[in-house]
Structure 1
Amino acid sequence: MKLPSSFDVIGSIAILSEKTKQPKKVARTLLKNFKNLETVVVKTGIHYGKYRLQKTKILAGKKSKTTIHKENNCTFKLNIDQTYFSQRLSNERLRISKLVKKGEEILIMFSGIAVYPITVSKLSPAKEIHAIEINPKAHKFAQENLELNKITNVKLFQGDVSKVIPKIKKKFDRIIMPLPRDAASYLDLAIKKLKPSGTIHFYDFQRLEDIPSKSIEKIRLLCKPQILRVVKVGQYSPKKFRVCIDFKVK
């Protein structure tokens, strides 16, 4: 049978769109043709709730939604229903890592299973990384992932960013905000924690015609930014794009 033109693969799990025709037949065919796959699921709705979770239904294969995913020479354990993770952002994580200079102290908000912290730690000369995640299950996977990757320069914090950040008594050379839906609400906190020459990576969702003006407007409400670059990270929906604004504060 004809397979769908695209589907996501996280570790050994293939994830089909809810629009896939004959999903069970497709699932069996995928398991037969791709030996690296152990489970095939189908999405049953959009990302929901404050943890940005995605509901899925197992169609074929092992009855498990926990897997090991590898990218950029890093290894990540996760459960696809209990945590937020997008393998489509691997190139963006690599881009950020390549910008980091020796000795930088970095803050990563909304760090999930520690994908950004571990990628930056392994692929850059960063000195120390602080990472904050509100989802307790994602935080637990993050702790496991630090051990899996033998990471020693990452400090993990579990809790709401707005409550954790005031307790961290230091400022940072670089702040990463990979939560496009809500990052603007935490920009003021990020700016207060930025060293004078530091850089913020602010993620946002925008329509194509509003890139980058609408995102930059949000930043200008709080500071005078020096825009370093605008990066279209990918298409989130037919009319929305994920965009990253890299900027310094004048």
Structure 2
Amino acid sequence: MASLKQVLKNKLTKKELAALITSYDVVGDIAIIEIPSILNPKEKLIAKAIMQLNKHIRVVCKKVGIHKGIYRRQKLKIIAGERRKTTIHRENKVLIKLHLEKVYFSPRLSTERLRIAKQVKQNETVLVMFSGVAPYCLVIAKNASPKVVYGIEINPIAHRFAEENVKLNKLEEKIRLYLGDVRIVVPMLKKKFDRIVMPLPLGGENFLDTALSAIKKGGTIHFYDFKDITGFEIAKEKVLKACKKARKKCEIIRLVKCGQIAPRTYRICIDFKVC
């Protein structure tokens, strides 16, 4: 199969080819690409080449800026294909419907979501904080045998998609979804959980106290962070400090790299048990 550079070899200059970013995300039937400023005049040409290489792609969007705001949303510009940003993504035996610009979702975490699901034991009660359109909830409920998976999300649009996704996957008996701030919703639930997932890698340490207040003795928490390779111990210290403040003993089981976000910088997950 031809590569993107091969398809564009005779259509871009050597300088433009050198600047071309050949990797891109695919969510459902939508490709999301980065276009360096030098290639802005050639963006439609690049988008059409991607569609030529991937017949299932119906829309190509380019990133405009970065994820920002409390909902971690990113602006996207459609540069080829159908005029829509809603799609249905398939991963780990589940269907995930979403609007790419109105909610946060990363297809790069597919392997990580399944890694968590494989750790869930039969009849566990699981809480997913910052649950978004419910990818973790869906993958856990579909690929493991939990008693119930609870999801809490503050973005009302993501919450509505999550509710739709639960019905789409026929998992109403396994998933309970709540709209709101986890700091407010968790105490209202008046429940203790066997496992808590915290997929908020920027500022997640500010919610460790809430997670620790809701975890059962012997339960497991999955804490996410962004760190360069020299900062892994700092991430561990965040966990140890929070546990000490909450007067709970903990044991760090493992630290997992869940994907590279920049040179030498990773999204990491610390799996730890509260003793």
SS in structure 2 of the partner of residue 81 of structure 1: coil
2:88 corresponds, among 51, 63, 68, to 68
1:235 CA drift (Å): 1.1
State the alpha-carbon separation in 1 of the partners of residues 222 and 174 from structure 2: 20
CA-to-partner distance for each residue in 1:190-224, whole Å, 9 max, x for gaps? 0110000100000011111111x111111111223
2:253 corresponds, among 228, 241, 249, to 228
Map of 1:132 onto structure 2: 152
1:7 corresponds, among 1, 24, 35, to 24
Task: Name which one, 1 or 2, has greater alpha-carbon Rg.
Answer: 2
Structure 2 residue 186 is the aligned partner of structure 1 residue 165: yes
Map of 2:63 onto structure 1: 43
Give the alignment's TM-score, normalised by structure 1. Answer: 0.97
SS in structure 1 of the partner of residue 270 of structure 2: strand
State the alpha-carbon separation in 2 of the partners of residues 239 and 81 from structure 1: 28
Map of 1:208 onto structure 2: 229
Instruction: Give the unaligned 5+ runs of structure 1.
Output: none
Kept in 2, the 8 Å contact 1:131–1:154? The answer is yes
Which deviates more from structure 2 when the two are superposed, residues 75-84 or residues 217-226? Answer: 217-226
State the alpha-carbon separation in 2 of the partners of residues 158 and 100 from structure 1: 24
1:18 CA drift (Å): 3.5
1:4 CA drift (Å): 4.2
SS in structure 1 of the partner of residue 190 of structure 2: coil
State the alpha-carbon separation in 2 of the partners of residues 45 and 29 from structure 1: 23
Map of 2:199 onto structure 1: 178
Kept in 2, the 8 Å contact 1:18–1:44? The answer is no
State the alpha-carbon separation in 2 of the partners of residues 58 and 5 from structure 1: 18
Instruction: Give the unaligned 5+ runs of structure 2.
Output: 1-7, 10-19, 244-248
SS in structure 1 of the partner of residue 66 of structure 2: coil
SS in structure 2 of the partner of residue 94 of structure 1: helix
Map of 1:247 onto structure 2: 272
Map of 2:33 onto structure 1: 16
1:227 CA drift (Å): 0.7
Give the alignment's TM-score, normalised by structure 2. Answer: 0.88
State the alpha-carbon separation in 1 of the partners of residues 273 and 35 from structure 2: 40
CA-to-partner distance for each residue in 1:154-195, whole Å, 9 max, x for gaps? 100001111111101110000000001021000001011000
Kept in 1, the 8 Å contact 2:64–2:77? The answer is yes
